[in-house]
Amino acid sequence: MKKLRLGMIGGGPGSFIGAIHRIAARMDNRYELVGGAFSSSLEKSLETGKELDLNENRIYPSYQELILQEKEKPANERIQVIAIVTPNHLHFEPAKMALENGFHVVLDKPMTLSLAEALALKVIQEKTGNLLCLTHTYTGYPMVKEAKQQIAAGKLGKIRKVYVEYPQGWLSTAVESKQADWRTDPSKSGIAGAMGDIGTHAFNLVEYVTGLRVQKLCADINIVIENRRLDDDGAVLLKFDNGASGVLMATQIAAGEENNVKIRVYGEKGGLEWQQVDANTLTIKWLDEPAQTLRTGSGYLSSFAQHNTRTPSGHPEGYLEAFANIYKNFAEHILAIQNQAEPKKESLDYPGIEEGVRGMAFIETVIASGKSSEKWLDLLKVEC
- Site for a second copy, residues 5 to 34, rule: CB under 8 A: 16, 19-20, 22-23, 26-29
Q: Where are the alpha helices (DSSP H) in 111-211?
A: 115-128, 142-152, 186-189, 194, 200-210
Contact 217, 236 (CB under 8 A): yes
242 part of the interface to a second copy, by CB under 8 A: no
The interface with a second copy within residues 327-356 (CB under 8 A) comprises none
312 part of the interface to a second copy, by CB under 8 A: yes
How many other C-beta atoms are found inside a 10 Å radius of the C-beta of residue 14?
12
Q: Is the peptide bond before 343 cis (omega within 30 degrees of 0)?
A: no
CB 140, min distance to a second copy, A: 13
Q: In this complex, which beta carbon is closest to a second copy, that of residue 152 or of residue 287?
A: 287
366 part of the interface to a second copy, by CB under 8 A: no
One-letter amino acid for residue 269 of the chain: K
Given 153, 374, 381, 383, the residue binding a second copy (CB under 8 A)? 374
How many residues form the binding site for a second copy (CB under 8 A)? 93
Given 320, 336, 337, 382, the residue binding a second copy (CB under 8 A)? 320
How many other C-beta atoms are found inside a 10 Å radius of the C-beta of residue 277?
10
Given 187, 242, 311, 339, the residue binding a second copy (CB under 8 A)? 311
The interface with a second copy within residues 196-225 (CB under 8 A) comprises 218, 220, 222, 224
Distance, first Cα to last Cα, the chain: 34
Cα–Cα distance between 210 and 150 in angstroms, integer?
10
How many other C-beta atoms are found inside a 10 Å radius of the C-beta of residue 383?
7
CB 267, min distance to a second copy, A: 7
Rounded to whole angstroms, what are the CA distances from 278 to 262, 263, 317, 380?
10, 12, 10, 34
The interface with a second copy within residues 90-149 (CB under 8 A) comprises none
379 part of the interface to a second copy, by CB under 8 A: no
Residue 131: alpha-carbon gap to chain centroid: 15
The interface with a second copy within residues 34-53 (CB under 8 A) comprises 50-53
254 part of the interface to a second copy, by CB under 8 A: yes
For residue 222, the SS3 value is strand
The interface with a second copy within residues 222-241 (CB under 8 A) comprises 222, 224, 233, 235, 237, 239
Binding mask 270-309 for a second copy (x = CB under 8 A): xx----xxxxx--xxxxxxxxxxxxx-xxxx---------
Contact 125, 194 (CB under 8 A): no
Nearest to 291 by CA among 271, 275, 274: 271
